[in-house]
Amino acid sequence: MLTVDFTRFPLAPGDRVLDLGCGAGRHAFECYRRGAQVVALDQNAEEIREVAKWFAAMKEAGEAPAGATATAMEGDALNLPFPDESFDVVIISEVMEHIPDDKGVLAEMVRVLKPGGRIAVTVPRYGPEKVCWALSDAYHEVEGGHIRIYKADELLAKIREAGLKPYGTHHAHALHSPYWWLKCAFGVDNDKALPVRAYHKLLVWDIMKKPLATRLAERLLNPVVGKSFVAYATKPHLPASAVAAK
């Protein structure tokens, strides 16, 4: 289940990609399949081990084209272990709402992104997220949980302030908003509640089968109750005078 839309966020074979806060690796795997040179980074050692196993399995199965590479590594989003201008593409999906110093993370992403490079940022959308917070304190009051809810204009302003130029936005995963509202209403750790179990089966069926009816429904509902807000931006090239001075 991808949050980034690669029809709006073009990726070329050979692009060097950083999936920052990669989690289980869903975007990193897609970039690898598209022929990129991928670095998946997360502070969670257990998840990084699993991502590394999946990279190895994908290579063994021939899922990635020749020239594609994939590395999984632990790291700190506020102190990235890469030189300036190392990546053509940076993806940070459902991460910034967890980090107190979100401006610091944006600054690090801009530092390692090449001029002309592209960045995709996804966060929980304001409206659906507010409902979750209203229904359940346990949803966000956990170690490492969500510490803020972004309004779209606020996030875009921070992206611009970091020196990036936004070029597009959209919403995603409308069918997932009701699921999380149910989870919050019945208890975030209560997977046995009938409405939660039934809706989860629907989501699994949708992800696995991708039926036309649910695809169309989600496309129609995304602008209204899409669970995620997605923003795309580029890092401008420096003017020739600034390059010479540098």
pLDDT digits (tens, 9 = 90+) for 120-149: 999 999 999 999 999 999 999 988 899 999
**Residue 243 pLDDT exceeds 50:** no
For residues 99-128, average pLDDT: 98
Asked if 227 and 130 count as a contact pair (C-beta separation under 8 A), the reply is no
- Which H or E element spans position 172? strand 165-172
Half-sphere exposure (Cβ direction) of 78: Cα atoms closer than 13 Å = 8
The mean pLDDT of the chain is 95
Predicted local confidence at residue 244, as pLDDT? 45
From CA 12, how far away is CA 56, in angstroms rounded? 22
What is the residue whose two structure tokens read 């009938």?
194
Closest of 89, 73, 91 to residue 81, by C-alpha = 73
Predicted local confidence at residue 61, as pLDDT? 96
Q: What is the pLDDT of residues 58-87, one digit of tens each?
A: 999 999 999 999 999 999 999 999 999 999
* High-pLDDT (> 90) share of the chain, %: 93
Asked if 146 and 130 count as a contact pair (C-beta separation under 8 A), the reply is no
Q: Which tokens go with 244?
A: 């010479």
Predicted local confidence at residue 52, as pLDDT? 98
- Cβ neighbors of 8 (< 8 A, separation 6 or more) are 168, 170, 232
